[in-house]
Amino acid sequence: MIRRIWPFIVLLNLSVTLHAQRMPFPRHVKYAPGSIKPNHLSQQQLDKQVTTFYIQWKKRYVKHSCTPGEDYIWFERPGNKQSVSEGQGYGMMITALMAGYDPSAKATFDALFRHYKSHPAKSGQHLMGWAQGKGCKNTDHSSATDGDMDIAYALLLADKEWGSSGLMNYSHEARLLLADIMRYEINPKTYNILISNGAEYDSADYYDTRSSDFMPLHLRAFKAATGDARWDKVLNNTYRLFITMQNRYSPDAGLLPDFIRNVKHPRPAKAYYLESKYDGAYNYNACRVPWRIGVDYLLNGDARAKAITGKINRWLRETTKGNPDNISAGYSLEGNDLPQRYFEALSFIGPFAVSAMTESRNQQWLNSVWDYLIRFKLKDYDYYDNSIKMLDMIIISGNYWGP
């Protein structure tokens, strides 16, 4: 009897080992010296607020695709888009980071991964088509660099979380995607981050970049995963670009525009360069910059990240008079509110809270912004605001880690 059961037990234990979380939530990561978290609540209270919102977020935004075994993150905006690569990246990062708390995180992650794989861009077979519409078909066969970078980072998180020896080789898939990102979405002359794979070497936008695509923490992980020193060039060149843009165009507020034209002679984009009349302002793309830069200080202690966020922190506390309710949904680079933007946008509030974590002088401000951020109900905001809020809550609570 024992001999018959033993092989089954071995296989069962092997299966459990392969699917076990190596980095389960909560992590309670020790961030860089001098950084802070909300200190008016216990760690258990912070964790509970994160998990409560996660349950709501997952229920609303993770949807079954047209193909069995595939899931996507619901775009939830008017129009013909059902999902976008940006949302797929957010969802894959969130589910990997919440593994351990969520026993179905791996299954969800794998379903999101399969949807990504089923929707390649036209150029670069491992890049994702930017948008999908009804019937789950690509409506835009070009890529969006930020979505591809987040998906690649999420795959590296998954490799660290579950390993790559099972049915899904996350590490291998990440390296395939990173090779295409480097080939199609990085300018090989200036090593700036291109907006998409649609930028050709002879096109006017070949030296342009979207500020929110600079994810220094991701770039470090990409270098570690591939050994490719070109990722260091992208990291250092873009830090220099951001410091130049702050000093030249926003010396008081420290804000970056949504789009930067010609990185060799950088300047903010003009109105309607790509998306709106505020393409040269701190708008719905650049609002993510304090989060992307701030987390690089938290996990790596990069002094450049602290300097960039420090300038933003000082201006923001002054312009709001220390009251988070005065945060507007968009600013000029001079630090003035954009017209008719006096409303709450979680995609602006959450990243500002992450940047506040880089300096101990912001403790009371951070506490206030955290309370302000979590009071808003998921039903009152769309996928973009709620997904950024979800990621930022994981960071602010001390539960964000890198691969």
Q: What positions carry a catalytic annotation?
A: 146
Give Cβ neighbours of residue 150 (< 8 Å, ≥ 6 apart): 86, 88, 89, 90, 92, 93, 215, 218
Report yes or no: 218 and 283 within 8 Å, Cβ to Cβ.
no
Distances, alpha carbon 372 to alpha carbons 39, 141, 340, 384, in Å = 15, 39, 21, 18
Angstrom distance (rounded) from CA 44 to CA 57: 20
Residue 174's alpha-carbon distances to 129, 147, 184, 219, 403, in angstroms, are: 16, 13, 15, 13, 12
Answer for the pair 278, 330: CB distance below 8 angstroms, yes or no. yes
Cα 254 to Cα 107, 187, 331: the distances in Å are 41, 26, 11
* CB neighbour class for 360 (10 Å; exposed up to 12, middle 13-18, buried from 19): exposed
Whole-number Å distance between alpha carbons of 275 and 91: 24
In Å, how far from its chain's centre is CA 339? 27
